[in-house]
Amino acid sequence: MTRRNYDIAELRRLDIAHHLPAQANYKLIQDLGGSRVITRAEGSTIYDGDGNAILDGMAGLWCVDIGYGRRELAEAAYEQMLELPFYNTFFRTATVPAIELATRLAGLLGGELQHIFFNSSGSEANDTVFRLVRTYWALKGQPERTVFISRRNAYHGSTVAGASLGGMTFMHAQGGLPIPGVEHVMQPYAFNDGFGEDPDAFAARAAQDIEDRILAVGPDKVAAFIGEPVQGAGGVIIPPPGYWQKVEAICRKYGILLVSDEVICGFGRLGEWFGFQKFGYTPDIVSMAKGLSSGYQPISATAISREIIATFRAADDDFVHGYTYSGHPVAAAVALRNLDIIEGEKLVDRVRDDIGPYFAAALKRLDGHPLVGQIRSLGLIGAVEIVAEPGTNRRFGGKEGAAGPIVRDACIAGGLMVRAVRDSIVMCPPFVITREEVDRMVAIIAAALDASAEKLRALDIAARQHAEAGL
Ligand SMILES: Cc1ncc(COP(=O)(O)O)c(C=O)c1O
């Protein structure tokens, strides 16, 4: 393939003039002279227009599981575009890739999760959940069951329903969210909310908060509980053993639907096809996106139990919900080819038995670093917590969130793309990452921590001076 040359300075100027990136501070981007322009990628490496090669520790945005540059997916899109580039599913119509992908997903999910509704993004998958669940309860003759229980600091998307289901208060602050009928409870974030607590006691306390809220709302008003198996965007929050069993038991006790948001965890990220399989619980509904096509096409899916769809069928009326691009044939064809690769190359096994354990062992090398408070990982997702004092969860500057961006920027400058969530450096590399690349990731993080030490200590000094001045 001939490599194109770009005028990056001009593209940056146009980026500021016309393009609005997602979840961004437009003033900051302007001050920075425009975004970093990513021009190409191969394997687990992205390249920017300034000639930097950056190891992609985030698999794009938690999604490019099979790595970049896979011709098979380009060919699948090309072939499908020539055969049928688009047709909708509104007119009692379906396309071959949509039917085949639904069938394939039903097989991977197993059990009762045998019906698949397609959307284009994770947020839309959760919008589908929102309307479907409330409609289901209305059809069951329990229209008062409308309340969703979610967790603080959960991420379920950026649409009105997605951000409302999510528990990020800084998102709620924009647009008057959450919409009525969403209750947020404790997250199972032991490092912050249960530091030093016995894991079993903490799991019981976190689950109890769900039950307490159900009782406060009134069990006959609660429609569903939604949760990510591992909270990704919230900072890679891995729940303690037994937590999900307790959550499931509470949902069953009160007849509440259990929704597993597998937008990040699905398709092998945790070393099983789905997070609910890893943790051993049985959801009624599953949201998925990202790894479904490894990000090569925008496609998401909502998997729904037999019982729920039997209720819709018994009602014999339309579910008046759906998108122009629901079941888009090109996106579905690309997703199918992506699943062929995950299966053919045994990438889920690789995450579980090979590169996942290697990643965990490599991260362990950061244990004992004076700026590291905790290292946690499961499969190929992980986080490093930055603290001001070893053995504690004390934060630099006395405020969570000041240290993370400093270390993140040092990682990127060192050639590794990671994200900072408050004071955690989070990682989610492609399943095809090599051992050498994992070693390089860890070495870059270690160097970034060392290089940031002085700036981080300055946060503490500034906070102390601020306090002494009585400000
Ligand atoms: C668990 C979870 N749900 C939903 C979403 C929203 O997906 P999208 O950005 O495709 O709308 C995300 C995105 O990161 C996610 O991590």
Report d(CA 304, CA 112) in Å as an integer: 8
Q: Is the minimum distance from the CB of 80 to ligand 1 under 6 angstroms? A: no
Ligand 1 atom at minimum distance from 298 CA = 10
Q: Which of 259, 162, 148 is nearest to 213 (CA)?
A: 148
Does ligand 1 lie within 6 Å of residue 227's CB atom?
no
Distance CA 81, CA 93 (A): 18
219 C-alpha to ligand 1 centroid (Å): 28
**Mean model confidence pLDDT for the chain:** 97
Distance CA 170, CA 195 (A): 24
Closest by CA position to 38, among listed 54, 24, 23, 57: 54
Task: Determine whether the shortest distance from the Cβ of 127 to ligand 1 is under 6 A.
Answer: no
**What would the two tokens of residue 254 be?**
């009160």
Q: Measured from the CB, is residue 116 less than 6 Å from ligand 1?
A: no
d(CA 155, ligand 1 centre) in Å? 7
Q: Which of 118, 264, 274 to mutate to test the pocket of ligand 1 (most atoms within 8 A of CB)?
A: 264
For residue 28, report the phi and psi dihedrals to the nearest 5 degrees. -60, -45
- Residue (of 270, 303, 278, 290) closest to 107 by Cα position: 303
Name the β-bridge partners of 42.
45
What average pLDDT does this structure show over 121-145?
98
- The answer to whether 416 and 389 are in contact (CB under 8 A) is no
**Gap from CA of 454 to ligand 1 centroid (Å):** 35
- Provide the pLDDT for residue 402: 96
Residue 2 has pLDDT above 80, yes or no: no
For 447-460, the pLDDT digits (tens) are 999 999 999 999 99
Q: What is the token pair recorded at 23?
A: 């979840």
157 CA from centroid of ligand 1 (Å): 5
Average of per-residue pLDDT across 314-325: 97
**Helix-, strand-, coil-residue percentages of the chain, each rounded to 5:** 45, 15, 40
The answer, yes or no, to whether residue 1 has pLDDT greater than 80, is no
CA dihedral 426→432→437→438, nearest 10 degrees, is 50
Q: pLDDT tens-digit profile of 40-77?
A: 999 999 999 999 999 999 999 999 999 999 999 999 99
> 261 CB less than 6 Å from ligand 1?
yes
Cα separation, 171 vs 167, in Å, equals: 8
- Beta-carbon contacts of 234 under 8 Å, excluding residues fewer than 6 positions away, are 153, 154, 155, 167, 168, 187, 189, 228, 421
Give the pLDDT score at 470: 77
Closest approach atom of ligand 1 to CA 123: 11
For residue 141, the tally of other CB atoms under 10 A from its CB is 7
Judge whether residue 471 has pLDDT over 70: no
Strand order in the sheet with 416-417: 38-42, 45-48, 53-56, 416-417
331 lines ligand 1 (CB under 6 A): no
Pocket test for ligand 1, best of 290, 292, 381, 421 (most atoms within 8 A of CB): 290
Q: Which atom of ligand 1 is nearest to the CA of 231?
A: 1
Residues facing 119 on adjacent strands: 300
CA angle 260, 317, 113 (to 5 degrees): 25
Q: How many residues does the chain have?
A: 471
Determine the residue of 23, 263, 264, 287 to mutate for testing ligand 1's pocket, defined as the one with the most ligand atoms within 8 A of the Cβ atom. 263
CA of 263 to the centre of ligand 1 (A): 6
Distance CA 256, CA 250 (A): 8
What ranges in 90-232 are assigned the alpha helix state H? Answer: 96-109, 122-139, 160-165, 169-172, 190-193, 199-217
Q: How far is the CA of 335 from the centre of ligand 1 (A)?
A: 17
The predicted-structure confidence for 409-439, as pLDDT tens digits, reads as follows: 999 999 999 999 999 999 999 999 999 999 9
pLDDT tens, residue by residue, 259-299:
999 999 999 999 999 999 999 999 999 999 999 999 999 99
What does the block give as tokens for 409?
Answer: 């920027």
Taking only the tens place, the pLDDT of each residue in 163-188 is 999 999 999 999 999 999 999 999 99
Token duo for residue 106: 């039903």
pLDDT at 469: 86
Cβ–ligand 1 distance for 240 under 6 Å, the answer no
**256 close to ligand 1 (CB < 6 Angstrom):** no
Q: With beta carbons less than 8 A apart as the criterion, state whether 406 and 414 touch.
A: no
Q: 53-56 contacts: CB < 8 A, separation 24 or more?
A: 53/415, 54/412, 54/415, 54/416, 54/417, 55/415, 55/416, 55/417, 55/437, 55/440, 55/441, 55/444, 56/417, 56/429, 56/430
Has this prediction a pTM greater than 0.95?
yes
